[in-house]
Structure 1
Amino acid sequence: MKLMSNANWKLFVFLIFPILFQQSTCEAEDLSDLAILDNGNDQFTELRPQERVDDYLFYNENRNLLSMRKFRGSNVILNFWATWCAPCIKEMPSLAQLADNYSDQNIQVVAVSLDHTGVDHVRDFLNHISAGDLKIYFDPENRKESVVTRKNGLGLKIYGLPITYFINKDGYVLGYIVGSVDWQSNKAKYFLENFIKK
């Protein structure tokens, strides 16, 4: 007795074969192929054309003004957050763990706080939520339309908090994700592996 006709078998192969080998690809064509990172809410948006961000300015914990040029040669995860943002609170511990886990793989985590409450408050807050090892950076102007300033007055847009921009070793912004991400999830790790290769 024939279990499956030739036509049905071809249909089965056509539908199932791609699913079986979907996870076997070693590298995504671009990062937008890896769109969903957490609960279907965190969509990677690729930016075209890619813009260099060397002149974006922010303060470190000691109130020294820095530019993104300082991080040239490293892949940068530029995260904007605030202590009053509930999704940020959820994300920060895994972001701190990411900074620790990937420090030897040429990834720098630059977490820019939008708080007005000062360094001590933000540091105490991070200690309280088990993210105390994360370096603190601050926005110099805290403008709504553009959190980090440039010499020409343009900046990275803040579409919501948290928002994470991905910047390659040459200083170009590849894209961004709006929303909280579990950076310790397998999907996030796979995304980061491909980010490092870009």
Structure 2
Amino acid sequence: MSPITLRASLLAALFCLLPLSALAAPTLAQTRFTDQAGSSVSLRAYQGKVVLVNFWATWCGPCREEMPMLNNLRDRLAPKGVEVVGIALDNKAETYNFARQLKIGYPILLGDSDTLSLLRSLGNPAGALPYSIILDRNGKQVGSLLGRLNEKNLEDTLRHFL
């Protein structure tokens, strides 16, 4: 048997031994993100609230345009149990400088190289931005929204889960 054939056979045997879950994309609940201080954060920290998770980047025009609206919406609905969490697919310095410029009050976390795969597993096969998902108070995904958000429709949708 040639070395290449032997290597292919060994890899095939290895994949047969792995549980299917090891090959699947991580779930949102399993995924860790990084906060501004460099700490690892899970979205489980927001369980008990209705959470709008907004995936964005500083180079994404519609993302930048909707952030002030998301900030205002969060300020209005936070007392009722709504949280907005931004997950940036960008570098740390640009992300936090931009959020500081806009005076964004909601949590901004950083994604990593696996975040694009996560987006696809959450119902965004193209990995397009902005992309938002809604989590109910138990952390279950109950909606997804692709593209720039409409404030009235978003508020009505979030209120439905309160």
| TM-score in terms of structure 2 length | 0.72
Q: Percent identity?
A: 25
Aligned mates of 2:44, 2:155 — CA distance in 1? 26
- Of 49, 60, 72, which residue of structure 2 is paired with 1:74? 49
Partner residue of 2:21? none
Q: Could you list the runs of 5+ residues in structure 1 that have no partner in the other structure?
A: 1-51, 148-153
- The alignment yields a C-alpha RMSD, in angstroms, of 2.2
Correspondence 1:58-137 to 2 at 5 A: 58-116=33-91, 118=92, 120-128=93-101, 130-137=102-109
Partner residue of 1:193? 159
Q: Could you list the runs of 5+ residues in structure 2 that have no partner in the other structure?
A: 1-26
Aligned mates of 2:39, 2:28 — CA distance in 1? 18
Q: Secondary structure of the residue that 2:105 maps to in structure 1?
A: coil
How far apart are 1:141 and its partner, in Å? 2.7
Letter in 2 for 1:123: Y
Partner residue of 1:180? 148
**2:73–2:155 CA contact under 8 A, matched in 1:** no
Aligned mates of 2:136, 2:89 — CA distance in 1? 23
Q: Secondary structure of the residue that 1:55 maps to in structure 2?
A: coil
Between structure 1 and structure 2, the one with the greater Rg is: 1
Q: Are positions 1:165 and 2:140 aligned together?
A: no
Letter in 2 for 1:177: L
Rate the CA distance shift 1:98–1:193 in 2: closer, same or farther, 3 A: same
**1:53–1:171 CA contact under 8 A, matched in 2:** no
**2:83–2:106 CA contact under 8 A, matched in 1:** no
